[in-house]
Each structure stands twice: as C-alpha cells, then as structure tokens.
Amino acid sequence: MNSIPKHVTIYEVGPRDGLQNEKSPVSLDAKIRYINLLSEAGFEAIEATSFVSPKSIPQLADATEVMAGITRKPNVRYPVLVPNERGMLRAIESGVTEVAVFTAASESFTRANINKTIKNHWRALSPLSRWRVSTASRSGAM
C-alpha cells in the first residue's frame, strides 16, 4: 500500500478535446460556464481550449474569447493546446501561461490529424522550445 500516491491530478481535457468534436456549435457562454464549473468542482488542470486554425476546427475559433471570459482560480492550471508557433503567439497574446503540444507515434494518424509527416510536425514544433511565458509580462523570451 505504500506505493499508492497520496495525491492524483486529473488533467481534464473536455473543454478542448470533447468540444472540438461537437457537430453543433457550442456557445461561448456555455464553454466559459463549463470551464468555470470544472474549476469549482476542484479540477486542478483544465485544458481550456486550443489555438489551432479556426478553419481546421471551427468549434475552437473563439479560443481568445474563452480565455478572456473564464474565471481563473489561483489553484487551477488552464493549459491550452498549441500546434505550432502561430498558435503559440495567439495563446501568449491571450494571456495563456501554460501550453500543451501534441504529436503522434503513427505516421498515418499524424497525416490524417494534422496533414503532416511526423518529421515535419517535429520541425513545426521545434520553434516552440524557445518560448518561455512569464505570468508577469506575458511575453515570449528566448
């Protein structure tokens, strides 16, 4: 029993991963309410949205407005998904302090999901390693 952790963090991705697949538009107010309710429920990490191309995932086109509208609790992290440097810049401009990046191990999935080879996707992610987000200045630094 000593190997059981005393604390577990659930990384809630519903606002981003779940809503991106909804066929009908989800209103900005509903997204903000959903994230705020998850915060109130005690989740410590909520992946709020994604700064992907609005053409690729129209359901998440309001990422900037979502981040501006949520009530950020001090003990809750609100990371967002960014696929590339353009998404990173949009996230930083929106006051984001934590990002998540993604890739896949399968060439076919990567091509279907982001229309890139794994190698090209790693190249696209490479510039992100130069950014450090400061909660005080919200600016990128090398």
> What is the tens place of the pLDDT at every residue in 96-106?
989 988 777 88
Yes or no: say if 56 and 91 are a contact pair by the CB < 8 Å rule. no
Q: Is residue 111 part of a domain?
A: no
Over residues 112-133, the mean pLDDT reads: 77
Predicted pLDDT at 133 = 52
3-state class (DSSP) for residue 77: strand
How many structural domains compose the chain?
1
Q: At which residue do the structure tokens 């407005």 appear? A: 65
pTM of the predicted model as reported, rounded to 2 decimal places: 0.81
95 closest CA partner among 140, 130, 59: 140
Q: Is residue 115 part of a domain?
A: no
Q: Which of 27-31, 72-76, 98-102 has the lowest mean pLDDT?
A: 98-102
Q: Per-residue confidence at 132, pLDDT binned at 50, 70, 90?
A: low
129 closest CA partner among 139, 137, 140: 140
Predicted pLDDT at 115 = 81
Q: Is residue 58 part of a domain?
A: yes
Predicted pLDDT at 121 = 81
Over residues 23-51, the mean pLDDT reads: 96
Q: Is residue 77 part of a domain?
A: yes
Q: Is residue 64 part of a domain?
A: yes
Predicted pLDDT at 138 = 36
Q: Is residue 114 part of a domain?
A: no
Q: 75 Cβ partners below 8 Å, 6+ apart?
A: 44
Amino acid identity at 84:
N
The separation between CA 100 and the C-alpha centre of its own chain, rounded to angstroms, equals 6
Strands (E), the chain: 11-12, 45-46, 80-81, 99-100
Q: How many CB atoms sit inside 10 A of residue 48's CB?
A: 30
H and E: helices and strands count for the chain: 5, 4
Domain enclosing residue 66, as ranges? 11-102
Name the more confident of 119 and 70: 70
Q: Per-residue confidence at 127, pLDDT binned at 50, 70, 90?
A: confident
Name the more confident of 88 and 138: 88
Tell me how far apart the alpha carbons of residues 7 and 75 are, in angstroms, rounded to a whole number. Answer: 15
